Structure 1
Amino acid sequence: MARNNQLVVPQAKAALDRMKVEIAQEHGIAFSPDGYNGNLVTRDAGTIGGNITRRLVQMAEQTLGGRI
């Protein structure tokens, strides 16, 4: 299966991985940063992904807000 979610800035991978673990911990979700996470229920995976998106949007808004 081809992966289409390639990072535009490959150096950001470590920061995104840390963000995943941090969000999982905040929500009490058992998450293995360097192992198998196939046991996550869809709701938990969605919680992690949704919060990552929320934080990235907030970061972009702050960055853009300083320029406008």
Structure 2
Amino acid sequence: MAQKLVPESKNGLSKFKTEVANEMGVPFTDYNGNLSSKQCGSVGGEMVKRMVSKYEKSLK
């Protein structure tokens, strides 16, 4: 198994994922097997979009 670069980031990313899912109305829980691929993918895509946006703003 690959070594994680920043093990401490797991909790932060989990919290971020939950916040984004709540804002989008996607009911994330400890078990997400009942969600569609589209729902999960939309949350992941929005997370990446926000992270890239924040990074771009930090460059200015």
Q: TM-score, normalised by structure 2?
A: 0.82
Instruction: Read off the aligned partner of 1:57 and give its amino acid letter.
Output: V
Q: Report the Cα distance in structure 1 between the residues aligned to 2:54 and 2:24, rounded to whole angstroms.
A: 20
Closer, same or farther: CA 7–49 of 1 in aligned 2, 3 Å: farther
Query: Alpha carbon RMSD of aligned pairs, Å?
Result: 1.7
Give the counterpart of 1:26 among 3, 6, 23.
23
Choose 1 or 2 for highest CA Rg: 1
Task: Give the percent of matched residue pairs that are identical in Structure 1 and Structure 2.
Answer: 38
**Which 4+ residue blocks in structure 1 deviate beyond 3 angstroms?**
none
Where does the alignment leave 5 or more consecutive residues of structure 2 unmatched?
none
The structure showing larger relative contact order (alpha-carbon pairs under 8 Å, at least 6 residues apart) is: 2
Residue 55 of structure 2 aligns with which residue? 60
Number of positions where the alignment pairs a residue of Structure 1 with one of Structure 2? 60
Where does the alignment leave 5 or more consecutive residues of structure 1 unmatched?
none
Instruction: Read off the aligned partner of 1:24 and give its amino acid letter.
Output: A
